[in-house]
Amino acid sequence: MVEQGTDEAAVGFRGEAKHIARGVTNGGWRRVDPNEQPAAHVRHATRSVSTGSGKGSNVPKLKVGARAPAFTLTDQRGKKVKLSDFKGKSVVVYFYPKADTPGCTTQSCALSDAMPDLKKLKAVVLGISPDAPEKQRKFDAKYGLGFPLLADEDHKVASAWGAWGKKSLYGREYMGIIRSAFVIDPQGKVAATFYKVSPKDTVPKATAALQD
């Protein structure tokens, strides 16, 4: 299988409508610009960026065929979840910058909607972000996502997976989550990588890799 990557794109109309509709169903959602960027949070971004070989400035990306880095993280219900818990199944792992923001909501709701098809492909979904478990719980409850949302508050797992790196916004450089998705095969090896994946492309790219 081939390693792929795309530049993160603006959320499409269909995805925007979907997450706005869900928000209305669950109450209190305001219409937002899908390109709106929230202010950086200490867990979600680090303002200083090393220009040398400092830790985190050039995080290595995962290679197809390599063993996926192990992790144990706490989910939205306070349960410890290990990647090894899903040995024998395909796993779609995705990293998102911040719970309950426009792009992350679109991406997560699309994966939730795709769960019946993903189950037919014998795949499970794990979402990971720097949000605390309580924030993940509220995100899950608001949109009824129905799969584990894991708290990587120190971004160590994101770094190990190559999903933490240099970003820029309005001319300012900072370190933060690189929106990424991965397909892990039943033997725990990387089957496909999608760095800088757009929210609307996550499901079709992951599905295609699972079908390959």
Tell me whether strands 123-129 and 149-151 are parallel, antiparallel or unpaired.
Answer: parallel
Task: Tell me the angle at which helices 102-113 and 133-143 cross, rounded to the nearest 10 degrees.
Answer: 60
Under DSSP, the state recorded for 67 is B
The one catalytic residue among 20, 68, 93, 104: 104
Query: DSSP per residue over 79-135, as a string?
Result: -EEEGGGGTTSEEEEEE-SSTTSHHHHHHHHHHHHTHHHHHHTTEEEEEEES--HHH
Structure-block tokens of residue 185 = 């095969």
Structure-block tokens of residue 107 = 């991406």
Q: Is 104 a catalytic residue?
A: yes
Contact (Cβ atoms closer than 8 angstroms) between residue 179 and residue 199 = yes
d(CA 133, CA 138): 9
Catalogue the active-site residues.
104
